[in-house]
A and B are shown apart, each in its own frame.
Chain A
Amino acid sequence: MVTLNQRRREAVFRVIADPTRRKILGLLRGRAHTVNEIAGNFRSSRPAISKHLRLLRSVGLVETKREGTARICRLNAAPLQVVDAWLQDYQQFWRESLRGLKRYVEDAR
Chain B
Amino acid sequence: MSSTSTIDVIVEEITVKAPAERIFAALTDPAQRVAWWGLKGRFETKHMESDLRAGGHWLMSGTGMGGKPFEVHGVYRTIERPRVLAFTWLPSWDTEATETLVRFDLSERDGVTTVRLTHSGFAGEGSRTRHQGWPQILDWLKGYAES
Contacts and interface: CB of A to CB of B under 8 A. Distances in A.
Interface of A: 10, 13, 16-17, 19, 22, 25-26, 29, 75, 77-78, 80-81, 83-84, 86-87, 90-91, 93-106, 109
B136 interface: yes
A2 B1 CA distance: 34
A84 B95 CA distance: 16
Contacts of A102: 14-16, 115
Nearest to B39: A96
A101 B36 contact: yes
A97 B119 contact: no
Contacts of B39: 96-97, 100
B140 A101 contact: no
B138 A83 contact: yes
A77 B137 CA distance: 9
B16 A99 contact: no
A23 to B, nearest CB: 9
Given A78-B144, A91-B10, A98-B115, A106 B136 contact: no
Contact of B137 (A22, A103, A104): A22
A99 B1 contact: yes
Nearest to B142: A84
Interface residues of B, number: 42
B141 interface: yes
B133 A16 contact: yes
B37 A84 contact: no
B96 A13 contact: yes
B10 to A, nearest CB: 5
A59 B143 CA distance: 20
Contacts of B38: 100
Nearest to A104: B36
B117 interface: yes
B26 interface: yes
Residue from the set B17, B23, B96, B145 with the largest chain A CB neighbour count within 10 Å:
B96
Contacts of A94: 10, 12, 117, 119
A77 to B, nearest CB: 4
A19 B96 contact: no
Contacts of B58: none
A106 B12 contact: no
